[in-house]
Amino acid sequence: KQEVTQIPAALSVPEGENLVLNCSFTDSAIYNLQWFRQDPGKGLTSLLLIQSSQREQTSGRLNASLDKSSGRSTLYIAASQPGDSATYLCAFYNQGGKLIFGQGTELSVKP
């Protein structure tokens, strides 16, 4: 069964810290991997999409890496801000294009 696990389930950090969110998946034959942000009561906003042939993507203070051989992806957030508080979801695309989601990491950045 294809599964995605995100650790930790919740994280609270002081403003300014650099932090890493982890995502592991059971199927090394994944294609692309996508990180999303979800604010309470809102929809999902795409943060980064890592294509199958890529190992990382960067956007502003965010950097996502993908290691298919170990079944892991990480989302690195530099210099965290209270506005970064949200739930971060990792999802991978299998061979059929199905998007399989993790349960998310709830991040709280304290001023």
Binding site for other proteins (CB under 8 A): 4, 31-32, 34, 36, 41-46, 49, 52, 89, 91, 93, 96-104
Q: How far is the CB of 15 from other proteins (least distance, A)?
A: 27
Q: How far is the CB of 111 from other proteins (least distance, A)?
A: 27
Q: Residue 83: what residue type? A: G
Q: How far is the CB of 46 from other proteins (least distance, A)?
A: 5
Q: 10 in helix, strand or coil?
A: strand
Say if CB 100 and CB 2 are below 8 A apart. Answer: yes
